[in-house]
Every structure is written in structure tokens, then in C-alpha cells.
Amino acid sequence: MDLCMPKFEETADSAVLVSWHKQAGDTVAQGEALAEVETEKFSHPIEAPCNAVLREIRVVAGEEVEVGAVLAILEPT
């Protein structure tokens, strides 16, 4: 399943991925913070939508990401 960049603010169409808290191959729990993104106004965690294995990271830290872009691939467990 694709983990996509959500829209946090009405005016923000993108955010910078600041850091990953997990690595490919890690098991994650629903609601667990996987990454941190930052807009001009705030920082926000990207949480796991379900229990899963983080199979692939598609965006590196420091990269600006458009809303809807695929950040990572999760395999639900």
C-alpha cells in the first residue's frame, strides 16, 4: 500500500520531509510516527495508517514533497 503525503493546510501544497523515524524492513504499529515533515508554519508527524512492514522508502530526508506523492510502500500485516 502506498503511504502518500497528506494535505495539512489549505495553503500548503508541499512540505519538506525532515527525517524518517523508521527504516525499510521495520515493523510499524498503526498510529506510530514514521517520518516528520515540515511546512512554513509547523512540523507534523506522518503516522502509519495500519500495522505494517515498511517495505520501501521513496523520499529522502531534506526533499520537498508535493501533496499526494508516494513517500513509502507499506505491507499491511
DSSP state of 35: E
CATH 3.40.50.1820 for domain 2-76, yes or no, is no
Q: Is the pLDDT of residue 11 over 80?
A: no
DSSP state of 46: E
pLDDT, one tens digit per residue, over 17-62 is: 999 999 999 999 999 999 999 988 889 999 999 999 999 999 999 9
DSSP state of 69: -
pLDDT at 75: 98
Q: CA–CA distance from 74 to each of 4, 11, 54 (Å)?
A: 10, 28, 5
Q: Higher pLDDT residue, 63 or 7?
A: 63
Q: Which residue has the cell 497528506?
A: 6
pLDDT, one tens digit per residue, over 61-77 is: 999 999 999 999 999 99
Q: How far apart are CA 30 and CA 76, in angstroms?
A: 10
Amino acid at 67: V
Q: pTM here?
A: 0.90
Structural domain spans, the chain? 2-76
Provide the pLDDT confidence category of residue 2 given band limits of 50, 70 and 90. very high
Amino acid at 50: C
